[in-house]
Chain A
Amino acid sequence: MREGSTREESTTTPAAMSVESAPVRFRDPQIEMAHGAGGKASRKLVEGLFAPILFGGNPGPLGDAAHVDINGTRVAITTDSFVVKPLTFPGGSIGELAVNGTVNDLAVSGAKAEALVVSYVLEAGLPTSILEAEVRAMAKAAREAGVRIAAGDTKVVEHGKADHMYVTTTGIGRLIPGVTIDPGSVRMGDKILLSGPIGDHGITILLARGELDLEADLRSDTRSVLPLVEALIGAAGPGLRWMRDPTRGGAATSLNELARDCGLGMVLFEDQIRVRDMVRGACELLGLDPLHIANEGQFLAVVSPEYSDAAINALSMAPGGDEAQVIGEVREQPAGTVLVTTLYGGSRIVDMLVGDPLPRIC
């Protein structure tokens, strides 16, 4: 699970105001784990402290990657830090996540990753064999995703000052022509698409920590979503409005951000959202909502209604896209909100979490 990353770069150019005097609205006296969990607390930190000082004023909607202009060429750039515990888990490891996570952030901003820069923070005492395995995992993931690892940096901190190893990857990508990802372009009647089942990664990590006496045959969904994104763009490019990979905070957080950014309502059909039985079971036991659980190999998209069939067909034909579904639609109401409806006519609001999902026991 990714925490504490600075992936929410502005997609607008910095305003020319004096940034040293920019007003900071973030009032929390200290940094808590919740500020890195991708929910409300994270957003408050980014919008209340980072954005005013670093970008100057209101950054506008925050995307997965920034698009910057270099001598007339627009490129996408993003960065992400990985602090997952345990380092390896069924279906993946920190090295794979570090490559796929950044490739995916670029992909859902409408860009194909070209090169990555890697930065390692290593704890003294880390067995070389573990490091080697992770570097190999990165090389393999990069080859599979078709991205080059171009440069890197290493720092070592004292034993006990870090948890084995942290990896940061920064990626630069080429914009895929004919796509504009903009929450402002989302309209009433648009369809909300999801690439596959949710919650696999978060629940796998929770179980891999070994704190629960629960066992399940479950794997992280970590993968590059670029092939699926390309298939979607190929079939529905002109109708594609928005994409996001719902990592920390889960699908609920991504859709709440979209609802807020575009001022419309996201109405989801619960029976259309795929959740594996293992994930559902764990969530039922622990009082968690799969919509709040992290994913590493899925993405959400909004397409205009006339393109939704073509989009689903294209995704279903692409490898790993056979479980893609239309899970909901954009409506005028409830504005700024995510509403989940059931087949029997019940409905509930799904808000962002404040911090990490906490299990309910009593």
Chain B
Amino acid sequence: MRFVDEFREPELISKTAEEICRIAGEERHYRMMEVCGGHTHAIYRFGLKDILPENIELIHGPGCPVCVLPMGRIDDGLSIAKDPNVVFAAFGDMMRVPGTQGSPLEHKARGMDVRIVYSPSDALKLARLNPEKHVMFFAIGFETTAPSTALTMMRAKAEGIRNFSVFCNHVTIIPAIRAILDSPDMRLDAFIGPGHVSTVIGCRPYEWIAQNERKPIVVSGFEPLDMLQSIVMLLRQLRAGEAKVENQYKRVVPWEGNRAALKAMAEVFQLRPYFEWRGLGFISQSALSINDKYAEFDAEQRFDVPGIRVTDPKAAQCGEVLKGVLKPHQCKLFGRECTPEHPIGALMVSSEGSCAAYHNYEHRKAVMVSLSSIA
């Protein structure tokens, strides 16, 4: 497959891995955070930890949209859809994420009209096809998905569609990175920058990380060679004592971002004064709401929203895991009360969530140890 296989070429991967070992040396330890959940997923999917030297530690960041969504928001969205005239439409990513009364899929089993859509415009299509129903799109995601939500609302307005709304949970990546850096228990050497988000916002918004915080950041693609090359670029900066923003994912990410997408977002959204992030708490100006011009499409204004706040179970340490302070298996619930079959925290649900990914990896590491002892 073109544009994919080139970046999975075994020989090049092995060579790049060797280069990483050579540059990294053995005398020091490197802590790099991959901000994006897509990178976390790729690390596990391609088994990259197996080919990296032990002194390179990858820390999973906050860039998994379903993982950082507080449970109360899911409850709020589902409470609107208790009205039998309302269709709850969301990405497949959301479907197994638990609310206090169960996940969207469990609500569907009890009779709620829950639909999986592949894009916000599919939700709008549902609204056109079902004029007797109200279709509410439960929007999640960073700047990656926010533009398509914005464009969909612009189209709905242009077409005069009345039975469509958006329950907006869009969040922005920069305040989350700032919160991570401000966290006193966090010690990081460098960042693997998010690839998809950066196609929209570009690379400039990261400059403060390099200039003020003196941390290198490399915006990276998602194939094994992309990620390994990004690690090489970070190591070179660290060895040279530099801190720059670099773009490894040039084939997709323009330095200045996507102006059309940013314009669509500016047309429809405004910054919320603050928003609650699961595990990170309230972060100011870290999320988007729908502005007055598009108020008719704002589910939070159209419907009574209970504004439910749910505190995570006391024993669950999603926050510490999300900030990279704890490894997933160090959480008290990991693998016992909280498993992929019965997730308590969202990190265990999404395949981009570090707990779900780790659940397998730790399991494997144990067997690998016994494997090497036989060999």
Chain A residues in the interface with B (C-beta under 8 A):
30-34, 40-41, 44, 211-213, 265, 277, 280-281, 284, 286-287, 332-335, 337, 339, 341-349, 351, 354-355, 358-362
Chain B proximity of A40: nearest CB distance (Å): 6
Would you call A277 and B360 a contact (CB within 8 A)?
no
Q: Least Cβ distance of B39 to chain A in Å? A: 13
Q: How many residues of chain B are within 8 Å of chain A by beta carbon?
A: 52
CA distance A333 to B374 in the complex (A): 10
Contact between chains at B351 and A359 (CB < 8 Å): no
| CB within 8 Å for A361 and B118 given contacts A333-B374, A354-B96 | yes
Given A33-B109, A334-B364, A351-B340, A344-B96 contact (CB < 8 Å):
no
Q: Which of B1, B48, B92, B370 has a CB less than 8 Å from the CB of A284?
A: B1
A34 CB, min distance to chain B CBs, angstroms: 7
Instruction: Give Cα distance in the complex from A348 to B360, angstroms.
Output: 8
Q: A280-B1, A333-B374, A362-B144 are in contact. List 5 more A-B contacts (CB 8 A).
A: A32-B105, A341-B47, A342-B10, A345-B51, A347-B50
Determine if A281 and B1 form an interchain contact, defined as CB atoms under 8 angstroms apart: yes
Q: What B residues does A284 contact at CB under 8 A?
A: 1, 4
Contact status of A32 and B341, CB under 8 A, knowing A342-B46, A359-B92: no
The CB with the most chain B CB atoms within 10 A, among A211, A212, A334, A346, is that of A346
Contact, CB under 8 Å: A348 / B47: yes
For residue A197, give the distance in angstroms from its CB to the closest CB of chain B: 14
Beta-carbon contact of B91 and A362 below 8 Å: yes
Known A280-B1, A362-B145; contact A348-B46, beta-carbon cutoff 8 A: yes
Max chain B Cβ within 10 angstroms of own Cβ: one of A337, A360, A362: A362
Hey, which chain B residues are within 8 Å of A361, CB to CB? 91-93, 118-119, 141, 145
Bound-state CA distance A284–B222 (Å) is: 11
B186 located at the interface, meaning its Cβ lies under 8 Å from any Cβ of chain A in the complex = no
- Give Cα A30 to B109, complex, Å: 8
B310 within 8 A of A: no
Does B331 lie at the interface of the complex (its beta carbon under 8 Å from any beta carbon of A)? no
Q: Which residues of B contact A342 (CB under 8 A)?
A: 10, 46-47
B76 CB–A CB distance under 8 Å: no
Is B352 interfacial (CB 8 A cutoff)? Answer: yes
Which residues of B (18-37) have their CB < 8 Å from a CB of A? none
Q: Is B320 an interface residue (CB 8 A)?
A: no
* Distance between Cα atoms of A199 and B117 in the complex (Å): 21
B44 at the interface (CB under 8 A from A): yes
B116 within 8 A of A: yes
- Do the beta carbons of B118 and A360 come within 8 Å of each other? no
Q: Which A residues touch B364, using CB under 8 A?
A: 334, 337, 339, 347, 349
Taking CB as reference atom, which chain A residue is nearest B15?
Answer: A344
Q: Is the Cβ of A345 less than 8 Å from the Cβ of B14?
A: yes
Is B299 close to A, CB under 8 A? no
Asked if B224 is at the interface of the complex by the 8 Å CB criterion, the answer is yes
Residue on A with the closest CB to B91?
A361
Measured in the bound complex, the distance between the Cα atoms of B48 and A188 in whole Å is 27
Cα(A34)–Cα(B343), bound, Å: 15
What's the minimum C-beta distance from A230 to chain B, rounded to whole angstroms? 35
A337 lies within 8 A of B363 (CB): yes
Known: A345-B50, A346-B224. A362 touches B66 (CB 8 A): yes
Question: A42 to chain B: closest CB distance in Å?
Answer: 12
Chain B residues near A265: list those with CB within 8 A.
367
- Contact check, A346 vs B47: say whether CB atoms are below 8 A apart: yes
The answer, among A30, A211, A332, A337, for a CB contact under 8 Å with B374, is A332
CA distance A339 to B50 in the complex (A): 13
- The digit string for B332-375, where 1 denotes a CB below 8 A from any CB of A, is 00000000110000000011100000001101100110110010
| Interface assignment of B13: CB less than 8 Å from any CB of chain A | yes
How near does chain A come to B167, taking the closest CB pair, in angstroms?
A: 14
Q: Which of B119, B351, B361 has the most chain A CB atoms closer than 10 A to its own CB? A: B351
* CB closest residue in chain A, given B106: A32
Asked whether A346 and B91 contact (CB < 8 A) given A34-B105, A334-B368, the answer is no
Decide: A277 and B341 in contact? CB cutoff 8 A. no
Task: Return the 10 tightest CB-CB contacts between A and B, nearest first.
Answer: A346-B47, A358-B92, A334-B367, A343-B10, A362-B141, A349-B360, A344-B13, A361-B91, A359-B92, A344-B10
Contacts of B360 in A (CB 8 A): 348-349, 351
CB contact under 8 A between A40 and B1, given known A333-B371, A360-B92, A361-B92: no
Docked Cα-Cα span, A341 to B46, in Å, equals 9
18 contacts between A and B (CB under 8 A): A32-B105, A44-B341, A284-B4, A344-B224, A345-B14, A345-B50, A345-B51, A346-B224, A349-B363, A354-B96, A354-B340, A355-B105, A358-B116, A360-B91, A360-B93, A360-B351, A361-B141, A362-B65
